[in-house]
Amino acid sequence: MAVVGLAVTVFFVMVAFLADFLAPFDPLKVGVAKVLQNPILGFPMGSDHLGRDILSGVIYGARVSLLIGFAAAGMSALLGILIGAISGYLGGNVDAVLMRITEIFQIVPSFFLAILLVVFFGASVWNVTFVIGMLSWPRSARLLRAEFLSMRTKEFVQAARSVGEKNLFIIFSEVLPNAIPPVVVNTSLEVGAAIITEAALAFFGLSDPSAVSWGMMLRNAQTYLRQSWWTAAFPGICIFLLVAALNLVGDGLNDALNPRLKER
Amino acid sequence: MTFKKYVARRTLETIPGVLAVIVLAFVIIHIIPGDPISKFVGPFETDIQYVNMMRERFGLNEPLHIQLWKYMANLLQGEFGRSVHGRPVLDIIAERIPATLMLTVSGLVFALVVGIFLGVAASRKPYSVLDSFSMSVSIVGYSVPVFWLAQMLVLVFALELGILPAGGMTSVREEYTGLAYISDVAMHLVLPALALGVNQLALIGRLVRSSMLEVFREDYIMTARSKGIKEKVVVYKHALRNALLPVVTATGMQVGYLLTGAVLTETVFSWPGLGRLLYESLNFRDYPVLMGMFVIISISVVLANFFTDIVYSLLDPRVRYG
């Protein structure tokens, strides 16, 4: 199943890359088709209330979703690794302070905080990515910290220290490669979560107006649901398929990287 | 430690959380571009004297820590300011809470009932075709965007088949009372609760399954079986009880996500709750209401975590010694 997930993900990535060649129309161009045209030849996914081609919107939407998804998850992973590694390795006061900060981010429901931040700072692709990334690092940080805490006392770390290797070196080239698997799995799941969060923000109108987002398309579809099922069905099914694919990949990674759990 | 001591300790630990939310809200208000007065006044040209007078009146010239103190004091007394339409923020939010509560609880109950049932069923035949299938289905259920699922449900059940209402909490055409009112609301509740519950259902199902599998390995299960107790009794009376403990914690931690889902679902179904309010305030840029909602929802989540811990400590006293 994970392979299926990977295949679907790669498919969407290709679509996003080749958007300029694949999309028949400019997705933001108004009036290329009759308003609320149902799917027919020439417009296989129909058009929305402004006469924009849904298929083109779906194709370009893949770009935004994948970009924000991977960028936000990447940012969250980097931050999480940095903070988790330092916190877990050094322990003591540093750990206590960093964990308090982490807790604050974890206590507050992230979606609502994201809404506030995007409302106040403006909804651009970069802002949305930044906000999502900034709100999801705690989980990675905690995972890595837990791994580091358990590895601090292991022999290979003591061996490295006794040879005189500097702490920073030990953190990044000795402990990190062994501690990273849970973070890898978590990050792959974060991509899916980031894509859904971006779509949800767009659904509330908090998306970059110059970039077509699947969530934005669903928002537009809401008013015209009665007359045009296609405006909601196609963008949404793409979100669903892409996120499901990413989650299957994440699950597969989990099975691969955590073989201990398989013994049941 | 005793239950009472544990409750006291957890209460003390929860207070910083509540304060952190309030401080965070205060920080956000003050770091946003532009100052609060310009938000209040809007994009219109205003006399500088008026602006200064407003600053004085709202205490914006005072040192930050004094402002923070006043902000906190206000909030704790229920003074959340007024919306751009003039009504007190707390009133607006309070009147929407019951609807959201109804939806959230219904969604959660649905997710728990079906999720536990499916999880138990899957755990009884691990690694079978049924099991692998249900695990993949759960990933799918977890990946569905709740607002899209809501739209699809409306399309299929309300607009195509016409068997359930497409939105709102009550019918617009008639005014029911008593039992008819309850059944009317219930009809309107079905689709939203269904949409909301699917994500949680998937998570709960997985968790119950893995939890049950772990419990099945315990000695007391083997004892029960060797005593000749019927398998059904073993599963439901002995195993499930203990397997449900992690489900309690997990569900408590999911309250934030549940509320997020509720907010999105309400927007699709025009359900008259906080979600709808959020959508409208965003459209109108009604900042006082937005901030008020943020504070109230965040504090609710903190409190929900607190209650989950208390309930869990009742179910598993070992936790109190942690």
B282/A200 CB distance under 8 A: no
Per-residue pLDDT reduced to its tens digit, B85-126: 778 888 888 888 999 999 999 999 999 999 888 888 888 887
Question: Above 70 in pLDDT, residue B36?
Answer: no
- CA distances in angstroms from B252 to B99, B300, B310, B311, listed in the order given: 20, 12, 11, 10
Residue, of B83 and B305, whose pLDDT is higher: B305
- The single-letter DSSP state of residue A53 is B
pLDDT value of position A124: 87
Residue, of B200 and B52, whose pLDDT is higher: B200
> What is the mean pLDDT of each successive set of 10 residues along chain A, which is 264 residues long?
82 81 76 71 78 86 90 92 83 82 83 87 88 89 83 77 75 77 86 92 88 89 84 90 90 75 44
Amino acid at A43: F
Mutate to test the interface with A, among B147, B284, B293 (most CBs of A within 10 A): B147
- The single-letter DSSP state of residue A260 is G
Percent of chain B with pLDDT over 90: 10
Q: Which of residues 155-174 of A touch B (CB under 8 A)?
A: none
A243/B301 CB distance under 8 A: no
- CA distances in angstroms from B110 to B193, B235, B265, listed in the order given: 7, 21, 15
Read off φ and ψ for residue B82, nearest 5 degrees: -120, 150
pLDDT value of position B44: 66
The contacts of residue A36 (CB under 8 Å, 6+ apart) are A46, A47, A48, A49, A224, A227, A228, A231
Whole-number Å distance between alpha carbons of B245 and B256: 19
pLDDT value of position A262: 45
Of A94, A89, A73, nearest to A145 (Cα)?
Answer: A89
Reported as a pLDDT band with limits 50, 70 and 90, residue B73 is: confident
The stretches of chain B forming alpha helices (DSSP H) are 3-31, 36-41, 48-57, 64-76, 89-124, 129-143, 146-153, 178-216, 219-226, 231-233, 240-253, 255-269, 274-284, 287-315
Of B243, B306, B275, B310, nearest to B93 (Cα)?
Answer: B275
Structure tokens at A159: 């061996």
* Burial degree of A31 (CB within 10 A; 0-12, 13-18, 19+): exposed
CB atoms within 10 A of CB B167: 17
Question: Above 60 in pLDDT, residue B50?
Answer: yes
Q: Using an 8 Å Cβ cutoff, are A170 and A84 in contact?
A: no
Question: Above 70 in pLDDT, residue B80?
Answer: yes
Q: Using an 8 Å Cβ cutoff, are A1 and B133 in contact?
A: no
Does B147 reach chain A within 8 Å, measured CB to CB? yes
Per CB-CB distance under 8 Å, the chain A contacts of B144 are: 240, 244
Structure tokens at A73: 């998850």
Question: Above 50 in pLDDT, residue B67?
Answer: yes
The contacts of residue A93 (CB under 8 Å, 6+ apart) are none
Q: Concatenated DSSP letters for A64-99? A: HHHHHHHHHHHHHHHHHHHHHHHHHHH-HHHHHHHH
Mutate to test the interface with B, among A142, A218, A225 (most CBs of B within 10 A): A225
Tokens 């609760």 correspond to: B193
Per-residue pLDDT reduced to its tens digit, B116-128: 888 888 888 877 8
Closest chain A residue to B36, measured at CA = A120
Q: Calculate how close chain B gets to A67, using CA atoms only, in Å.
A: 18
pLDDT value of position A243: 92
Residue, of B67 and B21, whose pLDDT is higher: B21
Q: Using an 8 Å Cβ cutoff, are A157 and A175 in contact?
A: yes
